[in-house]
Amino acid sequence: MPHTRVRLSRLGVIAACLGAVLAGCGSEPTAAPMLPTASSAQAIPTGEPENAGRLVFAHPEDAAKLDPADVTDGESLLVTWHIYEGLTRYQAGKTEVEPALATEWSVSDDGLTWTFKLREGVKFHDGSAFDAAAVVWNFERWFDPENPHHFKDWGFEYWTDMFQGFKGEVDAEGKPKSVFAGAEAVDAQTVKLTLNRPSAPLLQNLAMGNFAFSSPAAVQAAGESYGTPDGNPIAVGTGPYMVDEWSPGERIVLVANPDYWGDPPATGELELRVIPDGSARFLSLSSGEIDGMNQVNPEDIAKAEADSNLQVVLEPANNVGYLGFNQARAPWGNLDCRLAVAHAIDKQAIVDALYAGDAVTAKAMMPPSLWGYDDGFEDYPYDLAQAQAYMDKCLAAESMPAEVVFYVPPIQRFYFPKPKELGELIQAQLSQIGVTTRIESPDWGSLYIPGVRTGKAELFLLGWGGDNGDPDNFLCKLFCGGSADFNSDGQFESPDGPAPRAPDEALDALLREAATLNTQADREAKYQEANRMIHEKVPAVPLVHRSPPVLFRANVKGYEPSPIQMILTGVSKE
Amino acid sequence: MTGFIVRRIALTVPVLLGITLFTFAFLKVTGDPCAALLGERYTPERCEQIRVRYGLDQPPHVQYGRYLQTTLGGDLGRSILTRRPVTSELKIVFPATVELALAAMLIAVCAGIPLGVIAAARHNSAVDLGAMVVALVGVSMPVFWLGLMLVYALAFKLGWFPTSGRLSAGVHVEVVTGLYVLDSVLGRNWDGFWDALHHLALPAFALSTIPAAIVARITRSAMLDVLGQDYIRTARAKGLGERAVIARHALANALLPVVTVVGLQTGFLLSGAVLTETIFAWPGMGRWIVDAISSNDVPVVQGGVLVFATVFVVVNLVVDISYAWLDPRIRFT
C-alpha cells in the first residue's frame, strides 16, 4: 500500500478543515436514508491496509450482479468465473472443453440423453454438498419459469440464447422451443440431461460461466437479493474464490476457498476494482496502485509496451467485426456489387491506422482461434482495378442509389475501438469505386441494431463476440434462418421494410446439420465448408479480429490468455 | 414565516409531479431498454419478451399510473440491469455524492469568499486583477482535464494521493450515514478517517474549482456594491478600521447573493459530478445515472431524476429561508 501517514501529514490544514467540517455536518439530517452497504455488513476496523497476497485487477464497470445465470455483461462474468463452476470448463487458453464438476460423460446414440458423473467430495462455499440434487435444482431453476427461484423479472438471457426456450414454450408447429427437456438425478453422483433434439454444442454451452452452479441453500436464503450486494449471502458457488466484500461501484474482494477441490489459487485475495476512466485506470497501473487492468485505451498500449514496469498480454481473438450488406436493398442483392466492395476495402490500412497492434485482418466470419476455421482459401485482395471491374458489372445490372445509408456505431465496441474513424475510412475507400455513402449513427442503446434488423441500413458496421467457443455460435448466430442482419434469409421483421428475399437454404441447412452431429471431426468439416460458402456469397465483408489487450505490472506472473474467459486464479506477484 | 414555508412546500408537489411526467414522457420518446440490454443479441422477439416482462407493453397512462402509485408508496422500482431496488442503489450512491459535494463546496466557500473579499477591498489593484484571473482560470478549466492532471501529478508522479476510489483496499469503515469521513469519526476509526480523507481530497478539489471561482466573483461584486454604500462611508468616518468595516459591516450585507449562489451550486454538485466521478472512480449519483441513461434503465433514470428534482427543490427552499435569517429586513408573511 503506497499511502502512508507520513505522506498524509502533508495534507495539513486541508485535511483538518475537511474533517472538522464534515464531522460538524453529522448532526444535520441527511436528504436520503443512509443504511449500511454490503461492505459494512462485514466491516472490520483495521490498521494499515495490506497488499501482501492480494492481487488488484481494475476494470471499467462494476458487476451488474453475481448470479451467473442472470448476467450477460463481461464485467459480471469476470467476477463469477472465479466463484462458480459448471459441469465442464474451457481448457486454459483454448475453447475446447474439459471436465470440471463432471468427471466424465456419455451420450446416447440418438444424441438426446447425456449422462454426467459428478466429481466427489465437492462442497459449495457455504458447506452444502455439491451433488446430483444440486445440479437438478439449478437446471430446474433456469428452465422453468414457474419455479419459485426463477425470479419474476429476471431474464436468464443466456438460457434463451443457448437452449432456445423455457419450459412450456412451443413454436408455431407446437414443438417445444427449448433444446433442454429435463434433468434427473440417477444417484447422488450421476445426473441425466434429456434434450428435445440433438445439440452438438451442449458441452461447450455447459462450460459457459452462465451455467455454473449456485448453492441451492444460498439462493433460497437470499431470495431475489441473491447475486446482489444486498444478498445474504451474496454469491455461493464451488469455485476457487469466495466473496468477501462487495462495495458497489468500488470493488469486489474475493478470498481463496480453503476447501477448493482443485489447485488452490495462487493469490490469497483477489480484488476486482472499478476505475471507469481508461486513462485513470492506466495511471493507477503505472503508479503500482493496481496490478492489472483490462479495457485498455488504444493509445496506452504503446506506452505500456515501452514501460519496463508493465507487460502487455493479448487475448486470442474471439470476435469478428464486419461490414454487412442489406441484400434486400438494391444493388446489394447482386453478388458483383458485393464483390466490388470486398475488393475495395483495404483491411490492412484499417488495422494499421485504427488499431494499436491488437487486431488482424479477417477473411472469415469466425476467428482463427476456433476449430472449424478454414485457412484453405485466400481473402479477396485489396485491388481497386478488380473492384472497379466488379462495380461496372454491378452497375450494368443494378442501379446505385445517389447515397447509400451506411450505419456506423456511435460508440466503441470491443471489435471496433474507433468506429467513427472506421466509418469515415470505409466511406473514403468506397468512394474510390463510385459508391457514395451517407453515414448515420443512431443511438446504440435503442435504435442501431433495431435499425439494422428492420432494414433501415443499407450497409452497416457490426460485429459479434463468441459466447461458448463453438463455431455454431458464430456462423449459425449470424446466418441461420432466424438471423436477419443480412436480409438474405427472408426473415425481415419490419412490415414496412423492403420485400424479403428467398432464404439461403443451402447455407442454412448446412449449419443446422453441423449443429446436430456428434463428433467434432464431422462438425469441423461442415463448418469449414460453411466458411467457404460464406466467403463465396459475401453476405458481409469480414474486417478484423481484435485481440483485447490486458495489462499487468511486470512482476505479475501466471496469467493464461484465453479467447473466451478471463481467469486470474493462477496469477500471482513475484 | 411559517405560512411561507408551508406554501413553498405545497408548491413542490406540482413541481415534482411535473418532473415525473416529463421524465416518463422523455423516456418513452427515447425508446425502451431492450435494445441496450440485448446489444448484438437483439431480435424483435426477444425485445418484445423484455417489454412484456417489465410492463413496457402496457398503454402509457397505465404505466405512468403504476409508476406514480409505487413511487408514492416509497418504491422506486428495480433496476433493469442489476435487478436491485433503486432505493438500495440510492443508499450507496447518494451519500457518496453528498460527501463529495459537501467537501467541494466547503473548499469553494473557504477559497472563494476570501478571494472575493480581498479583490473587492483592493479594487482595481494588482491583487484584484490577480484574484480575478485565478477565478477566471478556475471557472474555465475543464474538470475532466484538471482531474486527470491532478491524478497524474499528485497521485502518479508524487504519490501523495491515491488515484481512485473512496477507501484503500483492506480499509473498512462501519457505515452509518454513508459519508465515510464522518462515519469513521463516529466509529473512532482513525485509520479509516485518514484513508477516506486522503481519497476525498483530490476529487473534492477538482470539483471545487468552478464553484470557488463563481463564489469569488459574486462575493467581489456584492462587496463592491456594499462598499459604495453611505453606511460604509459613515463607519469609516467614525474612525473604524478597514478590517472592521469589511468584516463587520460590509461582508455580512454582501452575503445575501453569495448564499443564493452557494445554494444553487450545492444543488448542482448534489446532482452528481459525472466527470469527476468517472476520473476518480467515485461511486456517486452522476456516474450512476449516466450509466442508467446509456442503458435505458428506466426505473433508475426515473428514480434518479426524482431525487435530483427533490434536491433542487429542497436546496432552493433552504436558500429562500436563509434570506430571512441573514437579512432581518426581509419579512415573510
**Cross-chain CB nearest to A43 (options B31, B173, B191):** B173
* d(CA A225, nearest CA chain B) in Å: 7
How far is residue A353's CA from residue A416's CA, in Å, rounded to a whole number?
12
Which residue's C-alpha cell is 495534507? A11
How far is residue A93's CA from residue A362's CA, in Å, rounded to a whole number?
21
- Joined together, the cell numbers standing for residue A431 give 468512394
B170 — contact with chain A (CB < 8 Å)? yes
**Cross-chain CB nearest to B103 (options A1, A22, A289):** A22
- Please calculate the CA angle B159-B161-B166 and round it to the nearest 5 degrees: 145
- Joined together, the cell numbers standing for residue A121 give 467430495
pLDDT averaged over every residue in chain B:
84
Closest-CA residue to A222 (of A149, A157, A290, A289): A149
Closest-CA residue to A269 (of A282, A258, A253): A253
User: Residue A16: its pLDDT value, please?
Assistant: 36
List, as one string, the DSSP characters of A99-163: ESSEEEEEE-TTS-EEEEEEPTT-B-TTS-B-SHHHHHHHHHHHH-TTSTTS-TT---HHHHHHH
User: Residue B328: its pLDDT value, please?
Assistant: 65
Closest-CA residue to B48 (of B62, B35, B30): B35
How far is residue A419's CA from residue A415's CA, in Å, rounded to a whole number?
9
User: Residue A486: its pLDDT value, please?
Assistant: 67
User: Residue A481: its pLDDT value, please?
Assistant: 66
Show the DSSP H helices in chain B as ranges: 2-30, 34-38, 44-53, 60-72, 86-121, 126-140, 143-150, 180-186, 190-227, 230-237, 242-244, 251-270, 274-279, 285-294, 298-326
Which of B75, B84, B150 would best serve as a mutation to test chain A binding (most A beta carbons within 10 A)?
Answer: B84
Of all residues in chain B, the one with the smallest CA distance to A284 is B163
The answer to whether A31 contacts B314, with C-beta atoms less than 8 Å apart, is yes
Q: Each residue of A336-371: pLDDT tens digit?
A: 999 999 999 999 999 999 998 899 999 999 999 898
| Beta-carbon contacts of residue B146 (< 8 Å; ≥ 6 apart) | B206, B209
| B34 pLDDT higher than 60 | yes
CB atoms within 10 A of CB A119: 18
- Please calculate the CA angle A179-A180-A183 and round it to the nearest 5 degrees: 165
CB atoms within 10 A of CB B11: 12
How far is residue A479's CA from residue A215's CA, in Å, rounded to a whole number?
38
Which residue's C-alpha cell is 484465453? A562
- Greatest distance between any 2 Cα atoms in chain B: 84
For A14-21, which contacts have Cβ atoms below 8 Å and span 24 or more sequence positions?
A14/B107, A14/B201, A15/B194, A15/B197, A15/B198, A15/B201, A17/B106, A17/B110, A18/B103, A18/B106, A18/B107, A18/B181, A18/B197, A18/B200, A18/B201, A18/B204, A19/B181, A19/B185, A19/B193, A19/B197, A21/B102, A21/B106
Q: At what angle do helices B285-294 and B298-326 cross, to 10 degrees?
A: 150
Containing H/E element for A325? strand A319-325
Say what the pTM is.
0.81
Q: Which amino acid is at A253?
A: V
Beta pairing, strands A572-573 & A359-361: unpaired
User: Residue A9: its pLDDT value, please?
Assistant: 33
Burial of A110 (0-12, 13-18, 19+ CB in 10 A): exposed
Query: How far from chain centre, in Å, is Cα A21?
Result: 46
Q: Each residue of B255-292: pLDDT tens digit?
A: 888 888 888 888 888 876 888 888 888 989 888 988 88
Is there a contact between A443 and A451 (Cβ–Cβ < 8 Å)? no
- Greatest distance between any 2 Cα atoms in chain A: 81
Which of A154, A277, A282, A487 would best serve as a mutation to test chain B binding (most B beta carbons within 10 A)?
Answer: A277
| Beta-carbon contacts of residue A487 (< 8 Å; ≥ 6 apart) | A326, A327, A328, A329, A455, A498, A500, A501
Of all residues in chain A, the one with the smallest CA distance to B167 is A250
Burial of A189 (0-12, 13-18, 19+ CB in 10 A): middle
Chain B, 298 to 317: residues with Cβ < 8 Å from chain A are: 307, 310-311, 314
User: Residue B31: its pLDDT value, please?
Assistant: 67
List the pLDDT tens digit at each of the 574 positions of chain A.
Answer: 333 333 333 333 333 333 333 333 333 333 333 223 333 333 333 333 333 589 999 999 899 899 999 988 889 999 999 999 999 999 998 888 999 999 999 999 898 999 999 999 999 999 999 999 999 999 999 999 999 999 877 888 899 889 989 999 998 889 999 999 999 999 999 999 999 999 989 999 999 999 999 999 999 999 999 999 999 999 999 999 999 999 888 899 999 999 999 999 999 999 999 998 888 899 899 988 899 999 898 889 999 999 999 999 999 999 999 999 988 888 998 999 999 999 999 999 999 999 988 999 999 999 998 989 998 999 999 999 999 999 999 999 989 999 999 999 998 888 998 999 999 999 999 999 999 999 999 888 778 888 888 788 999 999 999 988 899 999 988 887 645 556 544 344 444 444 445 457 788 889 888 988 878 888 999 999 999 999 999 989 999 999 999 999 999 999 999 999 899 999 999 8
- Could you give all domains of chain B from N- to C-terminal order, each with its CATH number? 31-75 (no CATH), 86-331 (1.10.3720.10)
Cis peptide before B60 (omega within 30 of 0): no
Total beta-carbon pairs less than 8 A apart between chain A and chain B: 284
How far is residue A53's CA from residue A284's CA, in Å, rounded to a whole number?
19
Residues of B within 8 A of A30 (CB-CB) are: 95, 98, 177-179
CB atoms within 10 A of CB B33: 25
Mean pLDDT, residues B222-240: 83
The answer to whether B93 contacts A247, with C-beta atoms less than 8 Å apart, is no
Q: Give the residue with greater pLDDT, B312 vs B333.
A: B312
User: Residue B38: its pLDDT value, please?
Assistant: 81
Is there a contact between B294 and B36 (Cβ–Cβ < 8 Å)? yes
**DSSP E strands, A374-483:** 404-407, 437-440, 459-465
Residues of A within 8 A of B106 (CB-CB) are: 17-18, 21-22
**Cross-chain CB nearest to A49 (options B39, B159, B170):** B170
Q: Give the residue with greater pLDDT, B305 vs A191.
A: A191
* d(CA A32, nearest CA chain B) in Å: 7
- Joined together, the cell numbers standing for residue A378 give 485466400
- Joined together, the cell numbers standing for residue B121 give 477591498
**Cross-chain CB nearest to A445 (options B192, B283, B294):** B294
Is there a contact between B271 and B224 (Cβ–Cβ < 8 Å)? no
How far is residue B28's CA from residue A86's CA, in Å, rounded to a whole number?
40
Q: Each residue of A67-90: pLDDT tens digit?
A: 999 988 889 999 999 999 999 999
Is there a contact between B295 and B81 (Cβ–Cβ < 8 Å)? yes
The answer to whether B88 contacts A230, with C-beta atoms less than 8 Å apart, is yes
User: Residue A33: its pLDDT value, please?
Assistant: 30
Residues of B within 8 A of A247 (CB-CB) are: 166-167, 283
Q: Each residue of A187-217: pLDDT tens digit?
A: 999 999 999 999 989 999 999 999 999 999 9
Phi, psi at residue A159, to the nearest 5°? -60, -45
Residues of B within 8 A of A540 (CB-CB) are: none
- Joined together, the cell numbers standing for residue B39 give 446489444
Show the DSSP H helices in A330-455 as ranges: 335-344, 347-354, 384-397, 419-431, 449-453
Query: How far from chain centre, in Å, is Cα A87?
Result: 20
How far is residue A539's CA from residue A533's CA, in Å, rounded to a whole number?
10
Closest-CA residue to B313 (of B8, B3, B6, B7): B8
Is there a contact between A432 and A333 (Cβ–Cβ < 8 Å)? no
How far is residue A296's CA from residue A229's CA, in Å, rounded to a whole number?
27
